[in-house]
């Protein structure tokens, strides 16, 4: 299992018109599973649908 750092933006703010940056570190077997895990975490924490989350960068952390 590798640690992946995923950076991106999500639509939020006071009236939902601002893109706010985020960075998450998740442990996963591959990049696709790591991205899905971040979608799941952001959706449950902020109540966001996948269309309101943009992934900009995925990299493995050693």
Long-range contacts of 22-26, Cβ-Cβ distance < 8 Å, separation of 24 or more: 25/61
Spell out the long-range contacts of 31-40 with Cβ–Cβ below 8 A and sequence spacing 24 or more.
31/4, 31/58, 34/4, 34/6, 34/58, 35/6, 38/6, 38/8
The CATH number for 6's domain is: 3.10.20.10
- List per-residue pLDDT tens for the chain, 62 residues long: 999 999 999 998 777 789 999 999 999 999 999 999 999 999 999 899 999 999 999 999 98
Print the domain residue range for 14.
2-61
Look over the chain and give the mean of its residue pLDDT values, rounded to a whole number.
94
Rounded to two decimals, what is the model's pTM?
0.89
Residues 53, 42 contacting (CB under 8 angstroms): yes
DSSP reduced 3-state for 32: helix
Question: Total domain count for the chain?
Answer: 1
């Amino acid at each position: 299992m590798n640690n992946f750092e995923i950076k991106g933006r999500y639509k939020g703010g006071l009236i939902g018109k601002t893109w706010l940056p985020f960075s998450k570190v998740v442990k996963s077997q591959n990049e696709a599973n790591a991205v899905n895990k971040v979608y799941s975490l952001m959706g449950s924490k902020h109540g966001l649908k996948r269309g309101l989350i943009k992934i900009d960068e995925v990299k493995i952390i050693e």
